[in-house]
Amino acid sequence: MPTLIKILIVLIELGVLMGGLKLLERTGRVSPELLRKLLHVAMGVTVLSFPWLFDDDWPVLTLASLAAVSLLIVRAMPILSGSVGTVISGVGR
């Protein structure tokens, strides 16, 4: 499978994860701390698959850069920080 397709699959998986956690948050039965922990565990498991997914370093560096830019965008844009951003920053630290 081409590397760009693998990168796209990882990005889609992380987007679905964020959306799913946001839906779980809306039920009101899950604390923000638990959501944050679930996000960390799921992303950690995803990252653990990288040695089997990618043969080179550049896809991992690309994904890390895209993740950093995405987090900055979510933090900077009020419409995003009030929606999916609450999964990340729902716990005040």
Chain segment 15-27, per-residue pLDDT in tens: 888 888 888 888 8
Quickly tell me which residue has 């370093």 as its tokens. 57
| pLDDT tops 60 at residue 92 | no
Burial call 32-66: b when 16+ CB within 10 Å, e when fewer:
eeebbebbeebeeeeeeeeeebbeeeebbebbeee
According to the model, what pLDDT value does residue 6 have? 93
Chain segment 49-91, per-residue pLDDT in tens: 999 999 999 999 999 999 888 878 877 776 655 556 555 655 5
Three-state secondary-structure class, residue 77: coil
According to the model, what pLDDT value does residue 85 have? 56
According to the model, what pLDDT value does residue 62 have? 94
